[in-house]
Amino acid sequence: MSAKASGKQIKAGKKPIPGKIILPVAVFAVAAVISAIVASFIIGGDDPVNVSAAIALPSPAAAFDMPPPLASSAPPGQDTAEPPPAKPQATAPARELARTPEPAPSLPEEPLASPPPQLASLPTGPAALPPDSDLDLIERTPQGFLPKVAPDGREPWQVYARPFAADDPRPRVAVVFTSLGLSSAATEAAIQGLPGAVTLAFQPYADNLQHWIQLARAAGHEVLLNLPMEPVDYPSSDPGPQALFTALTPEQNLARLDWSLSRVTGYVGVTSFMGSRFTTSRDAMLPVIQTLKDRGLLLLDSRASARSVATKLATELNVPRAINDRFLDTGEVTRVSIDARLAEAERIALEVGTSVVIGQPYPVTIERVRAWAQGLEERGIALAPLSAVVNLQEDR
């Protein structure tokens, strides 16, 4: 058989693939690879929030080998008597009011570990406050780690307080920025841009909450925890899935209270978030104030309602308390309006010795408070942490 014939037989045994078929297949394969790459970017994203969530520092619960509490989203809407609302994130249906939060998984029985290791990496200096995880002030419960009075009688509101000279004779103004933790940019601006004597209040719904608290304390700020409560216009304003409601039983509200208190350590006390209805009910508020007393925490009555009973109950139960005199950025939020309310705070302090104001982390509010604080020394007024003005105001 000739070579030519042999070649014909080989070609006959295996048909060649036409070029017009190979080209579409190759194009399809390349397109599939490109689609997979694009999809990975879309799913993963390059949002700094996703990146920070992936590399977030462990919470105290993680350092203690306990599963961290589940994060929830909260709509930071405000009462009509409170600062202007941020964009709502969720609305809890009314039927959920009777639901008691599910307890956290059972806690391990081994002894508590040492304080979270990430504290060593935080900035330190004369203004930095001590670490926020004193184990003598932490109680292990099914709900999580809760604040408690230490065996030697030390209370969290005193141990975690920013130092202030008790014999300072100057009139005192305490400034509290509230609803922090939900916006990374706003929270960082408040922590880094405000004087250390300004007190910062954080939402329990915030992600990476313990990390924010550590950063705030490292910058010298005393810390509060926002306590979501029922407003008069619920559900138009929604305080979130773990809020306290007058329609719930005391046991249900206390379970929700424990959920909020167990989200973080290192705070001196609480202040209401919304709450214009809840804070007017003596029956609803009494178990809450009693819990604050038992756990050694202070109360800032935000005065979401002029009929709030929070201050009077705190006085009756001997709970350290302070009272909000002005919201800095309610209604009109301008340089002129904020400056005017800061001037009112000075006037009140000069008249009665103490005043308290509450603001939100709007850029203009942060800028005006920072500028206002620079001239306080010359005017003979002290910018004080909230713990330095407790029990100095008359009941109302």
Checking if the pLDDT of 102 tops 60, the result is no
Question: Confidence class of residue 134 from pLDDT cuts 50, 70 and 90?
Answer: confident
**Rounded Cα–Cα distance for residues 130 and 389 (Å):** 21
Residues 131 and 210 sit within 8 Å (Cβ to Cβ): no
Q: What is the pLDDT of residue 177?
A: 98
| CATH of the structural domain 70-104+117-389, one choice from 3.40.50.300, 3.20.20.370, 3.40.50.720, 3.10.180.10 | 3.20.20.370
Question: Confidence class of residue 128 from pLDDT cuts 50, 70 and 90?
Answer: confident
Q: Cβ contacts of residue 305 below 8 Å, gap of 6+?
A: 79, 81, 232, 275, 276, 277, 279, 280
Percent of the chain with pLDDT over 70: 67
Checking if the pLDDT of 86 tops 90, the result is no
Instruction: Summarize pLDDT for 197-232 with one digit per residue, the tens.
Output: 999 999 999 999 999 999 999 999 999 999 999 999
Q: What is the pLDDT of residue 132?
A: 67
Q: What is the pLDDT of residue 289?
A: 98
- Which single residue is written with the structure tokens 């809407």? 77
Question: Confidence class of residue 88 from pLDDT cuts 50, 70 and 90?
Answer: very low
Can you name the residues that pair with 384 across neighbouring β-strands? 174
Q: What is the pLDDT of residue 332?
A: 87
Checking if the pLDDT of 160 tops 80, the result is yes
Bigger pLDDT: 277 vs 29: 277
Of 215, 335, 300, 321, give the one whose Cα is nearest residue 264.
215
Can you name the residues that pair with 200 across neighbouring β-strands? 177, 223
Instruction: Summarize pLDDT for 20-52 with one digit per residue, the tens.
Output: 444 444 444 555 544 444 344 333 443 333 323
Question: Mean per-residue pLDDT for 256-262?
Answer: 98
At 172, is the secondary structure helix, strand, or coil? strand
> How many C-beta atoms lie closer than 10 Å to residue 248's C-beta?
20
Checking if the pLDDT of 92 tops 90, the result is no
Q: Cβ contacts of residue 260 below 8 Å, gap of 6+?
A: 204, 225, 227, 228, 242, 270
Checking if the pLDDT of 93 tops 70, the result is no
Residues 356 and 176 sit within 8 Å (Cβ to Cβ): yes
Q: Cβ contacts of residue 130 below 8 Å, gap of 6+?
A: 160, 217
Which tokens sit at 126? 């004369």
Q: What is the pLDDT of residue 140?
A: 92
Question: Does the global pTM surpass 0.85?
Answer: no
Mean pLDDT of the chain: 78
Instruction: Summarize pLDDT for 240-253 with one digit per residue, the tens.
Output: 999 999 999 999 99
Checking if the pLDDT of 188 tops 80, the result is yes
Q: What is the pLDDT of residue 33?
A: 46
Angle in degrees, 0-180, between the axes of helices 209-218 and 184-193, rounded to the nearest 10: 20
